[in-house]
Amino acid sequence: MLNGSITALVTPFRNGEVDEKAFQDFIEWQIENGTHGLVPCGTTGESATLSDAEHKRVVALCVEAAAGKVPVIAGAGSNETRVAIEYSRHAKELGADAALVVSPYYNKPSQEGLFQHFKAISDAVDIPVVVYNIPGRSVVDINNDTMARIAALPNVIGCKDATGDISRVTTINDLCGDDFIQLSGDDPTALGHSIHGGKGAISVGSNIAPAEYAAFHNACLSGDYEAARLLHVKLDRLHKDLFLDPSPAPAKYGLSLLGKMTTDVRLPITPCRADTETAVESAMKRAGLSW
């Protein structure tokens, strides 16, 4: 089952290319520190600026480094249904445990178009699919009724919700059933999402503090919400300050302090401003990190 602290992995670059060694070393560090699952080639992994060959290589590197120790949910989304099918098929061939498929962006499809997009993927590839609903980036929201239709597809097992609307958790549970895995896509709302019945989060902050985020989600999963609340407070600034500049620049800056990778990002993302760097350092210290 997919649950807990699932890291939306950054993709390290060096001199304009994917830093393969840094990436696999980073994955091993994540697993050693208790991360429950890994997402390569999501938004935080700068998937929008990876070439087709790079996208496939990054997923392959992740599956190899994870070595079956934790689930790999491979980013497989595209606003072109045929491309999403190809990425999902490639993830299946590599041995990824699931595919994370974002709602199509830019096209602004109807609710019927959204359903048909996910139906085409489910029909074409026998891999568990996690639906990623993020209207802030894709413009179109997958409404609850459409999510229920999508959830009934044979290969769809859950959703990543980045709407920030906690009230959806209960509604979607009512419509889709207890077996439909609901994951938060927003660290700041992960505590409330869990209380309402969510099973974890696909997290940006866990890139920086994997052990701390794993402890937070372990507390949530065990129902110890007082311990979870205290950890949430400790991590609160990290939740938020990693987005003071466009992601993943702040996360990469923090990871550079920890010696995990360079700060390199790809245009149109630019490196952090100085005041963001200061804020990230402060948030890391509040979370109990040192370097």
10 Å Cβ neighbour count for 68? 9
Half-sphere CA count of 121, side-chain side, radius 13 A: 38
Specify whether the CB–CB gap between 264 and 13 falls below 8 A.
Answer: yes
DSSP bridge pairs for 160: 132, 183
Strand pairing class (13-14; 73-75): unpaired
Active-site annotation holder among 132, 213, 253, 260: 132
Active-site residue (options: 56, 119, 160, 199): 160
Whether 132 is a known active-site residue: answer yes
Name residues whose C-beta falls within 8 Å of residue 214's C-beta, 6 or more positions apart in sequence. 4, 5, 33, 34, 35, 36, 206
Residue 160 known to be catalytic: yes
Angle at 121 between CA 164 and CA 173, to 5 degrees: 40
Instruction: Concatenate the DSSP letters of all residues of 141-175 into one string.
Output: ---HHHHHHHHTSTTEEEEEE-S--TTHHHHHHHH
- CB neighbourhood size of 15 (10 A): 7
Residues 216 and 5: beta-carbon distance below 8 Å? yes
Which residues participate in catalysis according to the annotation? 132, 160
